[in-house]
């Protein structure tokens, strides 16, 4: 009986982990990292260019989400710390179909994070590829 409860508990924990948004899975040491480009207009423009090349095909030109790729204007994303967004870009969410973008140098990933922070407050379209 006790074994059954343990298995049910494990299944519930696994389901909860699967239901978590990738930004919620970022370890605290990553989530607390600060963005070296925070507030930089130049970095945001560079991030918009990178977003158009790397992200827009799945998430939409304005981050509105397409088919399986969710909107990046959701509160979960706009309220996420820069470090958590950086962690998601680095690791992806392979189970959910998002690849890792670790091949981009860290400054480029921070530039994308800088741009993502502007998505919730503006409707600026990303430039075309």
Partner 1 sequence: MLRNPTILHLAAVAALTIPACLAAEGPFFITYTHQMEEPGNLEIATNSVTGQPASGNRFFGAATEFEYGLKAWWTTEVYLDGQSTQSDSTIFTGYRWENRIRLLPREHLINPVLYVEFENINGADKSLLEVVGHDSQDDLAQPNSDARLDKQREIEAKLILSSYAKGWTIAENFITEKNVHHEPYEFGYSVGVSRPLALAARPERCNVCPENFQLGLEMYGGLGTHADFGLTDTSHYVAPTLAWTLANGTTFKIAPGFGITGASVPFLLRFGVSYEVAQFGRAARHLFGGH
Q: Would you tell me which residues interact with partner 1 (CB under 8 A)?
A: 42-43, 45-50, 52-54, 56-58, 67, 90-100, 102-103, 105-108, 111, 127-129
CA angle 88, 8, 20 (to 5 degrees): 15
**In the bound complex, what is the minimum distance in angstroms from residue 81's beta carbon to partner 1?**
18
**In the bound complex, what is the minimum distance in angstroms from residue 41's beta carbon to partner 1?**
8
Q: Where are the alpha helices (DSSP H) in 22-105?
A: 28-31, 41-54, 56-59, 75-78, 82-91
Nearer to partner 1, 20 or 42 (CB): 42
State the Cα–Cα distance between residues 104 and 115, nearest whole angstrom.
15
Diameter of the chain measured on Cα atoms: 61
Nearer to partner 1, 9 or 36 (CB): 36
**In the bound complex, what is the minimum distance in angstroms from residue 1's beta carbon to partner 1?**
34
Contact 65, 75 (CB under 8 A): no
Give Cα separations from 56 to 18, 65, 74, 121 (angstroms): 25, 9, 16, 18
Nearer to partner 1, 7 or 107 (CB): 107
**In the bound complex, what is the minimum distance in angstroms from residue 60's beta carbon to partner 1?**
11
Nearer to partner 1, 3 or 95 (CB): 95
């Amino acid at each position: 009986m006790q074994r059954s409860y343990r298995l049910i508990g494990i299944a519930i924990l696994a389901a909860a982990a699967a239901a978590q948004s990738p930004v919620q899975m970022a370890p605290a040491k990553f989530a607390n990292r600060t963005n070296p480009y925070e507030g930089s207009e130049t970095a945001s423009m560079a991030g918009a260019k990178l977003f158009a090349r790397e992200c827009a095909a799945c998430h939409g030109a304005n981050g509105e989400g397409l088919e399986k790729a969710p909107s990046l204007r959701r509160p979960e994303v706009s309220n996420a710390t820069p470090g958590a967004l950086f962690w998601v870009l680095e690791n992806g969410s392979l189970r959910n179909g998002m690849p890792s973008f670790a091949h981009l140098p860290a400054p480029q990933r921070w530039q994308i994070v800088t741009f993502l922070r502007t998505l919730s407050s503006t409707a600026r379209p990303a430039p075309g590829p």
